[in-house]
Amino acid sequence: MMKIGLTGGIASGKSTISRWLIHHGYSVIDADKISREVVAAGQPALCRISDKFGDAMILPTGELDRKQLASLIFQDDKKRAALNALLHPLIRSRMLKELDQYEKEGASAAFLDIPLLYESGLASWVDKTIVVYVSETNQLKRLMARNHLDESQARARMGSQIPLSEKVKLADAVIDNNGSIEETEEQLQRLLQRWSLEN
């Protein structure tokens, strides 16, 4: 089974690629989805977050206050590292289980949708990597619009990741997502043909 890492930067459009792959029957492991599952109400990780960062991180409904946590960790490298140390082992464990399941089911390929593929040192897990690229200007505009952030907040989030221009140098393939969705999907289809992965 070929393992392909799908990554990019925040608001680069990686989810568009991921959705297309799922819609067309490819096996996709979504690290973001798993990261939301491990901090769902009632999960042990939620208690650990509360112990580490305070009760204010939990909403009255018992769910994680994502906004509050994000504003805390994107302004403080040490707190972000502490959160990652708490959550990453749980996320990785679930990802490996899913990968194992796809292998047992006989999938010819599995895409690992991991925003922090390079930052987390997980490139060694995969055979090939795809980076979804947008210009810094477009990334900033999209992030500010999508998450309702001002420029300094958006730049702080972008600054917590390796710049896309650097990730491009590490990738086996790059999908330029500065144009239309149709143009992006065409690039993906050509890439799947080149790697003999058409479904």
Rg (CA), the chain: 17
CB 10 within 8 A of CB 157: yes
CB 12 within 8 A of CB 134: yes
**Partners of 4 in beta bridges:** 111, 128
> How many C-alpha atoms does 152 have within 13 Å on its Cβ side?
2
- Alpha carbon distance 140, 154 (integer Å): 7
Amino acid at 67: K
**CA quadruple 176, 182, 186, 192: dihedral, nearest 10:** 90
Summarize the annotated binding site for ATP as residue ranges.
11-16
Summarize the annotated binding site as residue ranges.
11-16
